[in-house]
Each structure stands twice: as structure tokens, then as C-alpha cells.
Structure 1
């Protein structure tokens, strides 16, 4: 059964064996705030969710995303930066910032089992925006990107800068060696990119949450 964030928070608090007052002290918040998180009345910020994971002995990746092992382990961890980027699954966005918002820890064993990537140092995370890739990718989904892939090697979903705007789209090579930029949402038209178009493949989408591998 799929767990939502409130389920994971409740499980973490209940399994910790600690009182809400003790957890609150470690987090630097009030016991009332911890109770509100547990009951789903309010949602913690990313930093406070990290603090809650640490206070309850859970892994950050499980607390944030519901993947990997629940218990916190320090060895074999890959810390992936979440960038301040919203790649457009729609009509395109202009800004591409490499500023790191925070880091999300993954167990290396989980990544090796579930994700195809070139090198751990090539992994970043960004956020999708728009509905053109629905139902595959929804607006607000977190995307795990392999920056070691800088060309369309085969049909897949890539993050690309096209004529100065950033997109997350399915790219496909045509027999004439041009590229098709395809939206999974059939409401949107596919485009064949022209030789004069400026195209930069930023990376391939290798995993995304709601959680699907590519």
C-alpha cells in the first residue's frame, strides 16, 4: 500500500519509542508542532523533515520520498543535490539555475538496484512543472537527472535547453537524424526540431517521484 508523508511521519514517531517532547527538543520545535505533523494538521519544511528523520532514526530518503530502507545508515550514502530548477513539462521555462536548495541522501545499494546512471557524481534532482508529460510525469514531481548523458542516445525522457528555454520532454531521433520533441500528454503537439534550433541536452531523466524508473 502506498504511504503518504503523514503515514511516514506517524510511523517514524511511533516506532522511535520517544515522547513527542523528546523529539521536539531534538528538532528545536514545540511538542505541539510534532503532534501537528503526526496528525497531518501541518507539514514540516524540508529542513524540519530532515530533523525529524534524524530524531526518529529514519533515513532522509525514506522520510521524504518513501523509498529505500526506513532505518538511518551512514555508510553507502550518496548525497544528491536538489537544484533550484523547475524544468517545464509544458511550454518551457527560461531560467536554469544550478543553485542547490538542499541535498537528499540515497542508499547507494538502492540506486544501483533501481536506477541506470553513468556515475554517482553526475546525479542531480530538479522539479517538473506543467502537465505536458502527464500521465508519466506530473507537475511538482521530483526528477533524478543523469548529467553524464549529454546527447540523445536512444528514445527516452531528457531535460534539454531548446532555444534558451528548459524542457523535460521525450526525445526521439528520426531517420533523417533530426530530433522529435514529444509530450506524453496528447493535448500537446510534438515538434520536429530544425537544424537552426539551439539544443543542449542537460541530462536524462533516470527516475522520478511519484516513483517510476526510466
Structure 2
């Protein structure tokens, strides 16, 4: 079955370009479009969609708020049942990209991304992967977390369910380390690290490593500029 894609951008010409590229693929089909976040929610209510390409700067409702409503917060089950959001942004270190990741986006891409990379990102998101490295997420958090308005600190009681080793792994994920780097740091096999990472995500009800980095900052395990 083809990957059903929705395009959300206030520039009709840009949507046309993306539509032409995506519809030329045998495994993709653009099934819906919207000019802003509010329209996206209306269209989504009557459309079956797998992946949403979401602009961030739009009238009425921006892409961050639309992503927050679509992804349903941090609840893993709610996110897994709905479409996955891939943010399109102009700058890689952008406060909108930071806010969208916190809202539950699977990742972000630059708007001028080469077509082959965009197609690979859509396929990755559809398969359940993230398309932004945790190290990039950490750079975003380091830059923008201290500058954004602070809300009431969330309480993450799930952290108490982690074993000492899983807690170590979470901290290393938050520092942007890959499975191989974590394995070398803890003197473990990559297969063992992969198992620990999976358990961390399951216990914390997180979809991917990127969300693990965000949670580590929100919970105070990691602070901007240092571990």
C-alpha cells in the first residue's frame, strides 16, 4: 500500500512542487493538502493519512500547534495510532523546529532538502524511525531551552521505573551518543545497548530517541550546555 501523505503549507506553489515529486513515486501518494494548521485539522478529520509534511510558519494556526494537537502530547499509544509529522523548516537550528519536536514531531527537514533525502525521510518516518539525530536535537535544546517561556515543570514518575543501567543509557542518549558510542562508553555490545534503549523507550512511553532527549531536558536530568 502506498504511503498516504498530507501536505500542509500556506504556499500553494511549494505544495505543487512537493506533490509532483511524491506522486511520481510508486510507493507514495499525496491524499490531502491544507494551507494552514487549522485547515489541516479539518481535512485530517475526514482523511486517512500516514505522514504529514508540515510547515511551521502559517496563518491562523502554525505548524507547532497543529503538531501538538495531532500527536496528542507524549502518550505513546495516541501517537502510534495517528499520522506521523515531519516538520519542514528554513533553518536547522530554529526555535520552531525545537518546539515541534517537543510537540511530538518525528523530525524535521530543511525546505530546500534534495528530493532523494525528502523521500527517504518520508519512508523512514512511515516505518517508525526518527529523521533527526539526537545530537542535533541536543544542539536545538542547548540553544533554545533557556530562552523559551517556562511552563510548570512536568513530573515524570516513569523515570523511577528505570534500572541504574537504563538511567545511564538515557543520560548518554541525551548527550547525543549513538548505540555504538554508548556501547564503547559502557563496555557493552551494541546488541545489549539496543535492548536497553528499547526498554527505556517502552518504560517512558516514548516513541523514539529524539523524544528521550527532550524528556531528559524537561525532567532536569540534562541542562542546556552540559550533562
Q: Same fold (TM over 0.5)?
A: no
Q: Which has more helix, going by share of residues?
A: 2
What is the TM-score when the length of structure 1 is the normalising length? 0.28
